[in-house]
Amino acid sequence: MKIVRSIIAILAGAVLSAAVSAAQAPIMIHSHNDYSRNVPFYQAYAQGVASVEADIHYNGGALLVGHDDDEVTESIESMYLAPIAKFYRANGNHPYPDKTKTLQLMVDIKESVEPTLSGLVEIISERYSDVFCTGGVQLVISGNRPEPQDFDKYPGWVMFDGKLEIDYTAEQLKRVALFSECFSDYAGWNGKGSLVIDQEKKVREAIDKAHSMGKTIRFWGAPETTTAYYTFYNFGIDWFNTDKPEKCAAFFSNWGDKNFQIGVRNISQEGVSGTSKLDKVTRNFAGFQHSKLQLSKGIDIYTPTYRNDGSHKKIKNVIFLIGDGMGLNQILAGDYANHGLSLMNMKYVGFQHNNAKDQFTTDSAAGGSALATGERHSNRHIACADDGTPYESLTDWFSAQGLSTGVLTLGHMVDATPTAFYGHNVERDDSDDLTVDLLSSNLDVLCGCGMGDFVRRKDGRKNLLGELKDAGFDIVEKYEKIDGSEGKVICIDKRMDAAAEESNISLLAEATKKTIAQLRKINSDKGFFLMIEGAKIDYAGHSECLPGSVLEMLSFDMAIAEALKFADSNGETLVVVSADHETGGLVILDGDEKTGRIMGLYFGNDHTPTILPVFAYGPHSDEFLGTYMNIDIPKKIKKLTSRK
């Protein structure tokens, strides 16, 4: 312990900055048995907890910390009072630097109340009155405490831990800071699954009783699991008693990133998520602004006619929708929140493995290129072999068949997935060369954001837009103008860069209709191929932002609905929906089927190699059943649409 104490001074400075970044939890965290850890107090304080606990013994005039007599080591003054006072004074008479969090010190008296409590009051009154006697940091006495009728024998700044079994008078209740109850007196739950109904009732009754008296409640000895975290939160328990402050604080931090419900404004988090976790091309993305991550109502769900679904009729058009970063749980989150998705009305579902050629986990370049070409790729490579030899993409193949081709993304058009359908390069970040590939591409329509990569270049070309115009492209800056051109068109719409919110959630769907109209205008006889990317589902995963993921998923689903509507209108269109990879390792933890409330936790902020769903609708959609590699999707599409 002496070695540990010697590093406290070093840690103290780091703790100050760590506490600043800790998000305010939606539940107060009580660091139980705090003194038993390697760095008592500091370890909990760094997590921004609302309460720390010290068990004390009266030992020859000294107040020593420890659960039992044989483990006492240092005084409560050196372990708690002095460090708390140091931070309080350094922060301008506040427990934490951000001046919004509160702190209490719970002292559990393990022996007789006197002379222990009087000794503690004396120390505080003499050296720390500015911290505790003013209420800046609340002192709460637990364990062996005075009888309620003796509360008034101690200064008014000394508060007490209450017991629900005691019938306090109104005056005595004023001295009760909170109620602490032994969880095993109410339930024998181990923190897995759910409580037995009658035990849950007892727990809820205890919570209600404390709240009816205007007090908060803590259960000590309660299970500490992820399930227990959200279960107790849903019950309305005010304090979470933890022996794992880092784990508990991590779960309850950034609460707004983990919860979403349509029609309910999430006020537990402000600011922006995600501006520093994206790649080079998307570095200018403004992030997910929590004040805008809400919807007043859900999106409409389209139910297809199924008239030609699974038939073996000729396919004239193919619409391939790729939800970047969209795994099963991203789909489920949107489905639960919206009480359904158009995507979930597609009956033919398969699964694809998506490992890269050189790595177990793919990036968007290798994943998108596999979907574009039917060839396995090394990470960072765009539609080419390891030596740079170009692979034929679906747009190349369909153009050779005489069809018009298009790429539409609700994101940056020079990002990995869209470029896989028109460019070839061994480096996904080589935006100069990838945009030059457009000059020789077979693409008829390209829509997304990313004006900077056309006008601010490093390759000597002052402005690529002029060259693209000479190559036959009309250049427009609003998706509404896509179908106003007579021929090939590139739409660089800066609105495509923004995160989905109430005002723009239909943007991708509206652009889908315009793009289909233009592709049909260019070639109404032979048909078209269109790739549509829901780009920012991936952004949300990198940002670990569940509300962002749900809104981007709903935006993508609205585009899926438009594809299904078009497929039903002619009976000759195959619609395929899948993903290039999953992002974030999203896990759905909790929710409510009736309200659509959803809670999810990300494993991390990068891609995972999880298996991905493949949805198909229209003629030959039954060919997409089963499990296969991602490269089999374009191979199936080619086989089903070959006109030779």
Q: How far is CA 67 from the centre of its chain?
A: 39
For residue 12, what pLDDT is reported?
Answer: 36
- Each residue of 303-347: pLDDT tens digit? 999 999 999 999 999 999 999 999 999 999 999 999 999 999 999
For residue 25, what pLDDT is reported?
Answer: 60
- At 460, is the pLDDT very low, low, confident or very high (cuts 50, 70, 90)? confident
For residue 73, what pLDDT is reported?
Answer: 74
Range 239-259 average pLDDT: 94
What are the tokens at 384?
A: 């080419």
For residue 455, what pLDDT is reported?
Answer: 86
Asked if pLDDT for residue 290 goes beyond 60, the answer is yes
For residue 122, what pLDDT is reported?
Answer: 96
Asked if pLDDT for residue 24 goes beyond 70, the answer is no
- At 3, is the pLDDT very low, low, confident or very high (cuts 50, 70, 90)? very low
pLDDT > 90: what percent of the chain? Answer: 84
- What CA dihedral angle connects 255, 261, 264 and 267, to 10 degrees? 10
For residue 71, what pLDDT is reported?
Answer: 67
Range 429-453 average pLDDT: 94
DSSP output for 174-224 = TTEEEEEEEGGGT----SSS---HHHHHHHHHHHHHHHHTT-EEEEET---
For residue 19, what pLDDT is reported?
Answer: 31
Q: What is the H or E stretch that residue 452 is in? A: helix 452-455
- Each residue of 291-303: pLDDT tens digit? 999 999 999 999 9
Angle between helices 536-543 and 546-570 (to 10 degrees): 160
Lowest-pLDDT choice from 219-228, 263-272, 295-304, 412-421: 263-272
Strand bridging mode 259-260 / 474-476: unpaired
DSSP output for 239-278 = EEEES-HHHHHHHHTTGGGTEE-TTS---S--SEE-TTSS
Asked if pLDDT for residue 9 goes beyond 60, the answer is no
- What CA dihedral angle connects 481, 483, 485 and 489, to 10 degrees? 80
For residue 70, what pLDDT is reported?
Answer: 60
User: Which candidate, 176, 243, 257, places its Cα nearest to that of 210?
Assistant: 176
Average pLDDT of the residues of the chain:
92
Range 90-95 average pLDDT: 96
Measure the CA–CA gap between 609 and 605, rounded to whole angstroms. Answer: 13
Phi-psi region of 371 (alpha: psi -120 to 50; beta: other; left: phi over 0): alpha
pLDDT > 70: what percent of the chain? Answer: 95
pTM reported for the whole predicted model: 0.92
DSSP 79: I
Measure the CA–CA gap between 442 and 488, rounded to whole angstroms. Answer: 10
Are 412 and 450 in contact, with CB atoms under 8 Å apart? yes
Asked if pLDDT for residue 14 goes beyond 70, the answer is no
Task: Kindly report the length of the chain.
Answer: 644
For residue 4, what pLDDT is reported?
Answer: 35
